[in-house]
Amino acid sequence: MHFIRKLPPLTAIKAFEAVARHRSVTLAAAELCVTPAAVSQQIKVLEQYFERPLFRRHASGLVPTDEARSYLVHVSRALDGLHVASEHLRKIHHTGVVRISILPSLASRWLAPRLGLFSRRFRNIELDIVSELQPVDLVRSNYDLAVRYGSGNYPGLRVDHLMTETLFPVCSPRLLNEGRGLHAHADLAGHCLLSELIKPAEPASDEWLSWEPWLKSWGLDPTCFTHRISMSDTAAILTAVEAGGGVAIGRSQLLQEQIATGRLVTLFDVRRTSSLGYFVVSHSATGDLPRVSAVRDWLLDEGGLSASALPEVEAE
């Protein structure tokens, strides 16, 4: 005898999950590409099925009841599993395409110069590369791989260490020698200090990306260095440095070409190893597909090669 599963309509379940997550019928409707009235109707269908209300109105929006909140845990897990399985089946029949999420600065400064090597080696694999600052949800999205900058703690995902990074003061050759030059730590007072704009609660940040610890380590008072510019766009900072707009804290994996060609120079013969690094992240459902594995292995090989691209400089 076959077991017949008695389930509420999938459309109603999807509407319930979206409303519970957003706490809003309007936002759920926008995500599902339907009208708010259609979402409300599906919620009524589900409430009739269970013969009880699932939401109560609150100042912060629609709040699931205690029973609905417990049901939501199972619904979310089931929808995630269905999504992953569907993506796995879909991607098997769309051979050759690997979709990657990567930070803009790493995409332009590290990955882009290597794409010619990739295309000559893997003629049957198509890369779809999206540059974005915010980390993507590999379970719910259609990405195959993501390259993240952080601590490497990404629960539930496969995490492969791509490369470490070192930090050092850097400027243009012109700025190094103009005026009194930049030969001693105190000379920084005559120049603009460029740095990344790090959010106060950002979970993955390295203190050496800001100027304060550098200045203190040299016995200088950070409050005396008021000529500063901070930007959230790393690539914009590096462009400003190349143009002679100031001194920045360079990141080794983003400046290999610029330093090798002499467009930028390091200062004070000091380098510090960052507490963060770059990681290739994938989901178990798609990470082992042959084409995804090939791209991941290639990225890891390139990461290993780039680790020794810059000459070693002893840390202070």
Q: Which residue has the tokens 């610029």?
A: 258
| Half-sphere exposure (Cβ direction) of 165: Cα atoms closer than 13 Å | 28
What per-residue confidence (pLDDT) applies to 276? Answer: 86
Query: pTM here?
Result: 0.64
- The CATH code for residues 97-163+277-306 is 3.40.190.10
CATH for the stretch 10-92: 1.10.10.10
Query: How do the pLDDT tens digits run along the chain, 316 residues long?
Result: 455 678 888 888 999 999 999 999 999 888 888 888 889 999 999 999 999 999 998 887 889 999 999 999 999 888 888 877 776 665 554 457 889 999 888 898 889 989 988 988 888 888 999 988 777 777 777 788 999 888 888 888 889 999 888 899 999 988 888 767 788 898 888 889 998 876 543 455 667 788 888 999 999 998 888 898 988 888 888 889 988 889 999 888 888 888 888 889 998 888 888 888 899 998 876 777 788 888 999 999 888 876 554 444 444 4
Give the DSSP letter string of 17-76. HHHHHHT-HHHHHHHHTS-HHHHHHHHHHHHHHHTS--EEEETTEEEE-HHHHHHHHHHH
Residue with tokens 């009841």: 65
Question: Where is 303: in which H helix or E strand?
Answer: helix 290-306
Task: Give the integer Cα–Cα distance in Å for 241 and 72.
Answer: 50
pLDDT, residue 198, reads: 61
* C-beta separation of 269 from 312 below 8 A: no
Calpha distance 266→289 (Å, rounded) = 42
User: Which residue is it, tokens 């339907």?
Assistant: 34
- CA angle in degrees (0–180, nearest 5) for 61-62-63: 110
Q: Report DSSP state, residue 314.
A: -
Whole-number pLDDT of residue 311: 42
State whether residue 158 is helix, strand or coil: strand
Task: Give the burial class of 20: count Cβ atoms within 10 A of its Cβ; 0-12 exposed, 13-18 middle, 19 or more buried.
Answer: buried
The pLDDT value given to residue 17: 92
pLDDT of residue 1: 46
d(CA 265, CA 263): 7
Looking at CATH, the fold of the domain delimited by 165-275 is given as D-Maltodextrin-Binding Protein; domain 2 (3.40.190)
> What pLDDT score was predicted for residue 16?
92
Tell me the torsion sign for CA atoms 298, 300, 305, 310. Answer: positive
6/78 Cα distance (integer angstroms)? 15
Residue with tokens 């004070």: 268
Binning the chain into helix, strand and coil, the percentages to the nearest 5 are: 45, 20, 35
Residue 280: its pLDDT value, please?
93
Could you check whether 97-163+277-306 and 165-275 share the same CATH topology? Answer: yes
For residues 163 and 140, give the distance between their C-alpha atoms in angstroms, rounded to a whole number. 26
Domains of the chain, by residue range, sit at 10-92, 97-163+277-306, 165-275
